Amino acid sequence: MRRQPPEGWREVFRGPAVRGDVLHAVLESAGLHPVLERSGAQSWWAGAGSALEECNLYVPDDEGDRAREMITADPPASERPD
């Protein structure tokens, strides 16, 4: 069953917690206000950033478009692997 975002918030990512941690840091460094919610059977003992955890990343509604844009943007050519 898919969980709905809290009222006033928009989900911008759902997936592995390790990637969610990185995206959270990127959005936060850009001045946005992301919130990361961890879930999964392993989350109670595995520790932060476990590959076994899933997460949802939310931002306030008014930051949703900018956050989605940042998450889906291609990296600059200088940062792409050869």
The token duo for 22 is 């990185």
Residue at 37: amino acid letter:
E
The whole-angstrom distance between residue 8's C-alpha and the CA centroid of its chain comes to 17
- State phi, psi for 58 to the nearest 5 degrees: -120, 150
Q: Is the pTM of this model over 0.85?
A: no
Using one digit for the tens of pLDDT, what is the confidence trace for 1-60? 467 888 999 999 999 989 999 999 999 999 999 999 988 655 445 455 456 688 999 999
CA torsion through residues 67, 69, 72, 78, sign: negative
For 16-31, write each residue's pLDDT tens digit. 989 999 999 999 999 9
